[in-house]
Amino acid sequence: MTPVAAPPRTERASRPAPPSRRTGLPGRLGTLALLLGPLVVLAAALGYPLVVAVSRSFTDRDDRYVGTQTWASALGDPAVRRAIGQTVEIAVASTIGCVVVGTFIAFVLSFVPFPGAGVIVRIIEAVVSLPSFLIPLALGVMFGPVGVVSAVTGHRLAFMSSVTGVVLAEVAFYTPFVVRPLLAAFSQFPTAQIDVASSLGAGPLRIAMRVIAPAVWPALAAAASLTFLLTLNEFGIVLFTGAKSVTTLPILIYTKSIVGSDFATAAVLATVQLFLSLGAYLLYRTVVRRFDTTGG
């Protein structure tokens, strides 16, 4: 009986060994250097100016340490308190205007198809790329003290030199920040729910409030929070409207530091503006985090 020859053994293809991680001291030093580089740049570009501004708020005009005396003097000034209130007032009014106008525009562009809707979306997106001061300049030509509408109506509609003009300019510039997130949210909304609600007898207003609004409110809240943060720190629009009766915190900081050379009071106001901005940013991040957890 002849033995059966075993099949030849094929050699396994040799696979290259995975590169070993550099766990030694040189690798750790390289990782540490990569982390320290951005941190040093961030600290030099952002941290140092903030520390200088906050520390300067505890000095006087002659750069002498006076504790909280400058704070008490600045916050006790009626003009400063009025500027803080006007800053928040304009930011709230502008945010409400952007939400109302932006929601209407986004709703029409998403659910009322018409020729040229894509062109309008591109125009809205292009507005964001424009310098903010162009908006009050353009509105001033129409509604300013020497504008076209003012001349025709006998100066009865010259409202650009007031809080109304500032709010109108900010609404015109920041509405795209509401439209764009809502367009994205509306594009993900299942239209079958609208068909079902319509077949059950619900009218357009009821469908908008009961069906669509609950699904897109996180995106709307995030857009409103971002708009409030941006309008709270707006400087160019307020400056170029030429509204002498409107004084916001950024305008007052500019006046105290550049015009009056009172850097101590300007530092106090800048610190107040910083805390207001941080509060608005934390609100924005909270809303965005909520939006992310709901699957947006």
Q: What is the pLDDT of residues 107-165, one digit of tens each?
A: 888 888 788 888 888 888 888 888 888 888 888 777 776 667 777 776 666 677 788 88
Torsion 79-82-84-86 (CA) sign: negative
Cα gap 186→104, rounded to integer Å: 12
- pLDDT for 82 equals 94
Residue % of the chain over a pLDDT of 90 = 30
Cα gap 247→256, rounded to integer Å: 12
Q: Give whichever of 11-20, 217-226, 281-290 has the largest mean pLDDT.
A: 217-226
CATH superfamily label, 77-293 = MetI-like (1.10.3720.10)
Q: 177-214, pLDDT tens digit by residue?
A: 999 989 988 888 777 776 677 777 766 677 777 777 77
pLDDT, mean over the chain: 81
How many beta carbons lie within 10 A of that of residue 230, not counting itself? 21
CA torsion, points 53, 56, 61, 67, in degrees to nearest 10? 140
- pLDDT for 86 equals 94
Q: Which residues pair with 241 in a beta bridge?
A: none
- pLDDT for 295 equals 46
- pLDDT for 128 equals 80
Residue % of the chain over a pLDDT of 70 = 80
Q: Give me the half-sphere count of Cα atoms (radius 13 Å) on the Cβ side of residue 99.
A: 21
Cα gap 98→237, rounded to integer Å: 15
In angstroms and rounded to an integer, the radius of gyration of the C-alpha atoms of the chain is 29
- Average pLDDT, integer, range 247-264: 91
Q: Residues 73, 269: contact at Cβ < 8 Å?
A: no
DSSP assignment letter at 81: H
282 or 38, higher pLDDT: 282
Q: Residues 162, 245: contact at Cβ < 8 Å?
A: yes
Q: How far is CA 116 from CA 27, 77, 113, 123, 191, in A?
A: 57, 53, 9, 11, 21
Which residues, including other chains, have CB under 8 Å from residue 155's CB and lie 6 or more apart? Answer: 145
Q: Which range is least confidently modeled, 189-198, 272-281, 282-291?
A: 189-198
- pLDDT for 98 equals 95
Q: Which range is least confidently modeled, 65-79, 138-152, 212-226, 254-268?
A: 138-152
- pLDDT for 221 equals 87
- pLDDT for 286 equals 83
Cα gap 125→246, rounded to integer Å: 29
- pLDDT for 97 equals 96
Q: Give whichever of 15-29, 74-88, 276-290 has the largest mean pLDDT.
A: 74-88
- Average pLDDT, integer, range 232-241: 90
What residue ranges do the domains of the chain occupy?
77-293
- pLDDT for 174 equals 94
pTM: 0.78
* CA terminus-to-terminus distance, the chain: 75
- pLDDT for 264 equals 92
- pLDDT for 231 equals 94
Q: How far is CA 280 from CA 75, 140, 256, 276, in A?
A: 21, 30, 24, 6
Cα gap 159→126, rounded to integer Å: 26
Whether the predicted pLDDT of 104 surpasses 60:
yes
